[in-house]
Amino acid sequence: MRVDIVTIFPAFFSVLDVSLLGRARQDGLLYVQVHDLRDWTTDRHRTVDDTPYGGGAGMVMKPEPWAQALEALLRPDGTSTLVVPTPAGTRFSQPIARGLATADHLVFACGRYEGIDARVLDWAAERCRVTELSLGDYVLNGGEVAAMAMLEAVGRLVPGVVGNPESLVEESHEDGLLEYPSYTKPSTWRGRSVPPVLLSGHHAAIDEWRRAQQLERTRRIRPDLIELLDHDAGAAGPGVPRS
Ligand code: JEW
């Protein structure tokens, strides 16, 4: 997968070099390139923003530098997907990450200020798939942190990026439940023992205990996820009560 990221803060993405995805980049599975939007400005001050038509607080990103950037980066055959983090987008989720992981080329457009002139996305939608995504229901200062989270979620689903495919399935949200609690040595630490079943060597009992922990935690912390469970698929797993 090839990923291009356009931002006025390319330095935000230097952490990619030290993350999990750093190795995948070296192995050629993920080719990520970060671009400075200001490289596509033509004025002496490298201006990317202007005042909003209709008035109001803040500034809006000018369309011209974005069009120059996207004309340079989007494939002319329409096979690129433009990902635009925005608080007004569809909520990002694991199913959306799975969908994006099948793409061959993603371009992340990271806005700042009050966002990007709305005509840019209308124009881009005539050239490629455009997907506006929100990281969640809270305020961020721009698209960079959202893009970083989305790239990590998508990148680890690209075949070969995460070594063990089983670890993909076991992670939270891949089976629709929160994860079970994990423990390592020592078996007693500061007066707290590891749950004895985990030391029993009884694998069926361990599976059952972990499933019960997942269900208890999910019911307590994220009851909304229980509503989303596929009851037929869930009944095939170990220790799932038919309710
Ligand atoms: C996100 C891109 C660009 C937030 C989440 N928040 C917010 C907000 C902003 C400007 C105007 C109105 C609301 C800040 N902002 C962004 C926020 C993405 C931009 C400017 C964003 N996902 N993505 N939760």
Nearest CA to ligand 1 atom 4: 87
Strand pairing partners for 83? 108, 131
pLDDT band of 85, cuts 50, 70, 90? very high
| pLDDT score of 230 more than 90 | no
Q: Are 63 and 37 in contact (CB under 8 A)?
A: no
142 lines ligand 1 (CB under 6 A): yes
The number of beta carbons lying within 10 Å of the beta carbon of residue 136 is 11
Mutate to test the pocket of ligand 1, among 8, 82, 86 (most ligand atoms within 8 A of CB): 86
Which are the contacts of 197, defined by CB distance < 8 A and separation ≥ 6? 205, 206, 209
User: Quick check: CB of 86 below 6 Å from ligand 1?
Assistant: yes
Q: For residue 166, which amino acid is it?
A: E
Q: How many CB atoms lie within 10 A of CB 161?
A: 20
CA distance 204 to 91: 37
Which carries the bigger pLDDT value, residue 239 or residue 134? 134
Distance of CA 147 from the midpoint of ligand 1 (Å): 11
Direct distance between the N- and C-terminal alpha carbons of the chain, in angstroms, rounded to an integer: 42
Give, as one character, the DSSP assignment of residue 138: S
Quickly count: other Cβ atoms within 10 Å of residue 17's Cβ.
11
Would you state the pLDDT for residue 219? 98
Closest Cα to atom 10, ligand 1: which residue? 114
Average pLDDT, the chain: 92
Ligand 1 atom closest to the Cα of residue 136 is 24
Which atom of ligand 1 has the smallest separation from the CA of 141?
14
pLDDT, tens digit, for every residue of 177-202?
999 999 999 999 999 999 999 999 99
Output the pLDDT for position 109.
Answer: 99
Q: 10-66: per-residue pLDDT in tens?
A: 999 999 888 766 667 678 899 999 999 999 999 999 999 999 999 999 999 999 999
* Ligand 1 binding pocket includes 138 (Cβ within 6 Å): yes
Confirm or reject: Cβ of 143 under 6 Å from ligand 1.
Answer: yes
Q: Taking the model in full, what pTM does it have?
A: 0.92
Q: Which atom of ligand 1 is nearest to the CA of 139?
A: 6
Residue 242: what pLDDT? Answer: 35
